[in-house]
């Protein structure tokens, strides 16, 4: 596609429910990143994919968070048993790798009530 | 571990005044440094990176390894420069970007 697409753009969920956030990277971009953006915390790294493997998942805050990428393309970030502190904007970015910069999606705003 | 510090959460200047957004980093190797910008209701986008040594929208940034800084500067601020600015560091290609917490720049008329 022309850009990085994320869905849904907004998600309101009840505490304790599971949510899935989707990222569709730019075609041909081998690297994919998930970040969390919250007020006062800036952008927190969550996980990085190179192809379908995740060489760096050091930023996942707890075992309630998981992510996968299939076919070297679409990625899904899953948050189980959501908590109020999970409320944030979840950003996805993709890159050709190497010295190329990231292209960010518009994010999913998650609100846990 | 690498860390990026942006000491100012908020910065307010008048149109036409010079502006400097500070960024300091800690990393023992030779990092790649970037500035990203997010205008209101828009996506985060790359502004410039130190390896390109370019000027974008009148902004420049010089990597000072002695002071471990990568401050963003513009001699004459414009109202359309109002945005959130993030400094970011990468250990090298194919590594993640580590971001600072951002500085919200407001340029007043």
Q: What is the pLDDT of residue A107?
A: 96
Identify the band that residue B71 occupies on the pLDDT scale cut at 50, 70 and 90: very high
Q: What is the pLDDT of residue A97?
A: 78
Q: Comparing A94-98, B33-37, B59-63, which segment has the lowest mean pLDDT?
A: A94-98
Residue (of A43, A27, A30, A2) closest to A95 by Cα position: A30
Contact B45 A104 (CB under 8 A): yes
Q: What is the pLDDT of residue A1?
A: 53
HSE at residue B10, side-chain half, CA atoms within 13 A, is: 4
Strand, helix or coil for residue A64: coil
Nearest-CA distance A83 → chain B (Å):
23
Phi, psi angles (nearest 5°) of residue B90: -135, 135
How many beta-carbon pairs below 8 A join chains A and B?
45
């Amino acid at each position: 596609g022309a850009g990085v697409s994320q869905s849904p753009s907004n998600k309101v969920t009840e505490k304790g429910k599971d949510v899935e956030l989707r990222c569709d990277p730019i075609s041909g971009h081998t690297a994919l990143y998930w970040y969390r953006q919250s007020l006062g915390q800036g952008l927190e790294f969550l996980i990085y994919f190179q192809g379908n493997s995740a060489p760096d998942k050091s930023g996942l805050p707890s075992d309630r968070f998981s992510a996968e990428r299939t076919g070297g393309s679409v990625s899904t970030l899953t948050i189980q048993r959501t908590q109020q502190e999970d409320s944030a904007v979840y950003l996805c970015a993709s890159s050709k790798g190497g010295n190329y910069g990231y292209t960010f999606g518009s994010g999913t705003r998650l609100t846990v009530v | 571990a690498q860390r990026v510090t942006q000491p100012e959460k908020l910065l307010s200047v008048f149109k036409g005044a010079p502006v400097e957004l500070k960024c300091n980093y800690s990393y023992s190797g030779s990092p790649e440094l970037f500035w990203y910008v997010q205008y209101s209701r828009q996506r985060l986008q790359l502004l410039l990176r130190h390896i390109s040594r370019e000027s974008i929208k009148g902004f420049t940034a010089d990597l000072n390894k002695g002071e471990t800084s990568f401050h963003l500067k513009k001699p004459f601020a414009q109202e359309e420069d109002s945005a959130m600015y993030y400094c970011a560091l990468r250990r090298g290609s194919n590594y993640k970007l580590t971001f600072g917490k951002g500085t919200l720049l407001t340029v007043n008329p």
